[in-house]
Amino acid sequence: MKASPFNQKTIAEFHEKKGLGVGMWGDHVLLMTAKGAKSGDLITTPLVYGREENNCIIVASKGGAPTDPMWFANLKANPEVEVEVAKADGQGTERFKARARVVENRQERDRLFSAMCKIWPSYADYEKRTERLIPVVVLERR
């Protein structure tokens, strides 16, 4: 499955700018490559992220839609992913293997979701648009 034209453009900009100053997300976008749950294809998705220790935090918001994004189903089926992110020193990007862990503990989920709302304030609006609990995922560096 090929990335949407929007995602293709974002991925190209990410590489061009070495992960910094990308579109409306600035320095808070990573590229996650996961295996498709049905297709088995490797699919790269640009996502807003935060950091906690050596891990990356992502949110399956889909803009507050009533259903989870497709990439979330892919992670649940195949939690081993590759992440590309700007290096902390701003000198290029780094790739690493990670395991996606859906945050099941409500207290941890709410804490991380709140932290992500500071990075991307629209998450708070998305939460009001949907009845589903928006999932939070920790990409645990391998």
Residues 6+ positions from 91 with CB-CB distance below 8 Å: 18
Domain 5-141 has CATH 2.30.110.10: yes
Residue 98 — φ and ψ, nearest 5°?
-145, 160
In angstroms, the CA 110 to CA 136 distance is 9
Output the six-digit token pair for 85.
């992110």
Beta bridge partners of 84: 31, 95
Q: What is the pLDDT of residue 43?
A: 95
Output the six-digit token pair for 68.
């989870």
List, for residues 85-95, the tens digit of each pLDDT value. 999 888 999 99
List, for residues 66-120, the tens digit of each pLDDT value. 999 999 999 999 999 999 999 988 899 999 999 999 999 999 999 999 999 999 9
Residues 6+ positions from 10 with CB-CB distance below 8 Å: 22, 23, 29, 46
**Is pLDDT at 127 greater than 90 in this prediction?**
yes
Q: What is the pLDDT of residue 46?
A: 97
Give me the residue spans of the domains in the chain: 5-141
pLDDT band at 2 (very low <50, low <70, confident <90, very high): low
**Is pLDDT at 63 greater than 80 in this prediction?**
yes
